[in-house]
């Protein structure tokens, strides 16, 4: 027997497992800020290019709405700014560029993620030791 009713116990079981400390199955969305800042540090980009770069560089798929909400927030905080770029053909594109405050925020992300990476390395060191038993 298949159907929606069959998936309810499984969904409930997965929710219960997640509530007891198992890792999430998705990438934390707050990392989106760090990824956007580092991409914009490299070059000025427009929305579609950012989506493509997120996928190509980090393997991340992002909903358009989430991307543009995050970009608006970063612009509101003074980390990035945008301007319209008139194209010879096709519609104008809103280009995003990193501001000095964004570069400072990126440095803070680098420090925080570096500490996180060190913690993960310690986890994996211990994990590999105990999993080999």
The pLDDT value given to residue 9: 53
Phi, psi of 101 (to 5 degrees): -65, -35
CA distances from 8 to 1, 14, 15, 91 (A): 13, 10, 10, 46
pLDDT tens digits for 46-70? 999 999 999 999 898 889 999 999 9
pLDDT tens digits for 23-41? 655 555 578 999 999 999 9
What pTM does this model have? 0.74
The pLDDT value given to residue 90: 83
Domain boundaries, the chain: 25-131
The pLDDT value given to residue 2: 45
CA distances from 34 to 13, 60, 96, 121 (A): 33, 13, 15, 20
pLDDT at 1 > cutoff 50: no
CB-side neighbour CA atoms (13 Å) of 94: 10
pLDDT band of residue 133 (cuts 50, 70, 90) is: confident
- Which CATH code for domain 25-131? 1.10.10.10
């Amino acid at each position: 027997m298949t159907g929606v009713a069959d998936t309810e116990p499984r969904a409930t079981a997965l929710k219960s497992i997640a509530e007891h400390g198992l890792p999430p199955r998705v990438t934390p969305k707050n990392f989106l800020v760090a990824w956007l800042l580092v991409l914009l540090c490299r070059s000025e980009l427009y929305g579609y290019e950012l989506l493509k770069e997120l996928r190509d560089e980090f393997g991340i798929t992002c909903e358009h709405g989430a991307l543009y909400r995050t970009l608006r927030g970063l612009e509101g905080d003074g980390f990035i700014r945008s301007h319209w770029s008139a194209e010879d053909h096709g519609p104008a594109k809103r280009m995003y560029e990193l501001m000095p405050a964004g570069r400072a925020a990126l440095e803070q992300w680098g420090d925080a993620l570096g500490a996180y990476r060190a913690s993960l390395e310690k986890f994996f060191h211990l994990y590999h030791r105990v999993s080999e038993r």
